[in-house]
Amino acid sequence: MTTPAPRSVLQVFEQYQKARISFVQNVADLATNPKNIEVLQQAGIMALLRPLLLDTIPSVQHNAAQALGRLANHNEELAEAVVAADILPQLVYSLSEQNRFYKKAAAFVLRAVAKHSPQLAQAVVDSGAADALVVCLEEFDPGVKEAAAWAIGYIARHSGELAQSVVDAGAVPLLVLCVQEPEFSLKRIAASALSDLAKHTPELAQTVVDAGAVAYLAPMLAGTKDAKLRRQVCSALGQIAKHSVELAELVVEAEVFPIVLDLLKDPDPYVKKNAAILVREIAKHTPELAQLIVNAGGSAAIVDYITDTNGNTRLPGIMTLGYISAFSETLAYTVIVSKGVPALTNALTEETEDHIKAATVWSIGQVGRHTPEHAAAVAESNALPKLLALLVAEDSSEDLKTKAKRALKGIIQKCVTLPALEPLIDSPPNIQQYVVHQFAKVLPGDVAARREFVTNGGLQRLQLLNAEPGSKLREHILTINNCYPEEIVRYYSPGYSKVLLAKIDNFEG
């Protein structure tokens, strides 16, 4: 018969246990403050926490994992330190063995490491985490499912290869089941993970579709009051729809219109933006899909969206109008009727970033390039001088200048509203030629326009142009000059006043 250990001996172990619990709890608390991170790192905290992950006391294990997650979450260097300390295999093993509190903390560490870079996410996958996390998606506890789904999303977002490794582990059907769970936070994280999976390739998006995701996601656009869930649902559907006509049609068949257009007015700015991205990703594929959006009231809804937003939030709406207008003159006309051109022109004035201006310029070009009526609508909004200003501005990016040149060329070649073209007579030679050509096409058959061209000073400015003999510009100028009596042309030619003064000097009376 063994004799009981003296109380003094047990007290030593109890004190050691309390010290470990106190230590990991304090470290976990300290790790929440970014100011403490560097000090903890210098004190060698990684080496001290690692053995505590295998402690016999569950609360010590849990708090050690929590502290590691907070450290790894802080920056890439600390995440790399977790990998270098060979902690990941230990966490993965424990995912299948420990209680739900530890599982949540372990999944948090895996997410915190994976989020920083594709290399770190690959290290997480190489440790066997994908399979272990997928098993956690089948847990009863929604918190464990949520932590696992979150980590899976952070792995998948980096690349198609990493997303495929998660798919191969069997994550997609279980994520679709998580979307159907009653907890909103779990629904959000699962929808976000599906979005991260679907975004990379048509094949991955098809895998998400084949698991039945669209049928469960689409009704949530109208069926939930949770703004964060609506954000993720719009994002996931947009990531699916962007890849192909077939996938976009599957999303449309789930009856997302006109509900998604109503979300363009949602109080939550991220819901609005993600809804606009979803509309854009559908509109870009075919004239039929663009027409479907227009029939649902999409043109007016997008114009209102552009008017009410700014910056990068405005961008998907701007591009949607361009995609709709690009397909046909009829679709472009719906954008004009919906007052899309003034909205785009205002965006051109208000926005400061070149990539947004470039998208706006492109969209204006798509509206105006179809017929004289379309070009007139653009000209009447005073867009042409603004496009020219962006073309000649020294601080405009090359992409912006290229798009401005193409838009101007396309609109000018259709424009017969000559007063709108007159300010462009002095534009750079690569645009000037097209401007003068339009006058050469219209003036010979229009007496009123010929008179107005003289009274507005257009004919005089034309004579000041420096056109190379034999050039197309020279040909167009001669065509215009031939519309007028020779003495009128001579009167507005440079140096003619000197000729008249010389005649006065030589006149003897």
DSSP secondary structure string for all residues of 414-460: T---HHHHGGGTTS-HHHHHHHHHHHHHHGGG-HHHHHHHHHTTHHH
The pLDDT of residue 371 is above 80:
yes
The pLDDT, as a whole number, for residue 462 is 82
Host H or E run for residue 249: helix 245-253
More confident residue, 87 or 337: 337
Assign 3 a pLDDT band (cuts: 50, 70, 90): low
> Between 202-210 and 160-168, two packed helices, what is the crossing angle to 10 degrees?
30
Q: d(Cα 453, Cα 133) in Å, to the nearest integer?
A: 74
The pLDDT, as a whole number, for residue 506 is 62
Contacts of 351 (CB under 8 A, 6+ apart): 310, 311, 314, 357, 360
Q: Chain-wide mean pLDDT for the chain?
A: 89
Contacts of 129 (CB under 8 A, 6+ apart): 88, 91, 92, 95, 110, 151, 155
Query: Residue 216 in 3-state DSSP?
Result: helix
Q: Model confidence over 150-167: pLDDT tens digits?
A: 999 999 999 999 999 999
344 CA to centre of own chain: 18
> Between 340-350 and 383-392, two packed helices, what is the crossing angle to 10 degrees?
30
The pLDDT of residue 117 is above 60:
yes
pLDDT above 90 covers a percentage of the chain that reads 54
The pLDDT, as a whole number, for residue 6 is 78
Does residue 233 contact residue 217 with C-beta atoms inside 8 Å? yes
Does residue 258 contact residue 218 with C-beta atoms inside 8 Å? no
Q: Count H helices and E strands in the chain, helices first.
A: 36, 0
Instruction: Tell me phi and psi for residue 162, to 5 degrees.
Output: -65, -40
The pLDDT of residue 38 is above 90:
no
The pLDDT, as a whole number, for residue 5 is 59
More confident residue, 219 or 418: 219
Closest CA relative to residue 156, chosen from 105, 80, 207, 106: 207
The pLDDT, as a whole number, for residue 427 is 80
The pLDDT of residue 402 is above 60:
yes
Alpha carbon of 433 to those of 300, 301, 437, 482, 495: distances in Å? 36, 38, 6, 18, 24
Q: d(Cα 44, Cα 89) in Å, to the nearest integer?
A: 20
Assign 431 a pLDDT band (cuts: 50, 70, 90): confident
Query: Residue 67 in 3-state DSSP?
Result: helix
Q: d(Cα 491, Cα 99) in Å, to the nearest integer?
A: 96
The pTM assigned to this predicted structure is 0.86
The pLDDT, as a whole number, for residue 354 is 93
Start-to-end C-alpha separation, the chain: 150
8 CA to centre of own chain: 66
Mean pLDDT of the 427-443 span: 84
Q: d(Cα 421, Cα 372) in Å, to the nearest integer?
A: 13
Kindly report which listed range (22-31, 181-190, 268-277, 361-370) carries the lowest average pLDDT score. 22-31
The pLDDT of residue 1 is above 60:
no
Alpha carbon of 358 to those of 347, 365, 381, 475: distances in Å? 11, 11, 18, 33
Kindly report which listed range (278-282, 289-293, 394-398) carries the lowest average pLDDT score. 394-398
The pLDDT, as a whole number, for residue 177 is 95
Burial level of 243, CB count in 10 A (0-12/13-18/19+)? buried
Closest CA relative to residue 432, chosen from 478, 375, 473, 492: 473
The pLDDT, as a whole number, for residue 77 is 87
The pLDDT, as a whole number, for residue 494 is 75
Host H or E run for residue 493: none
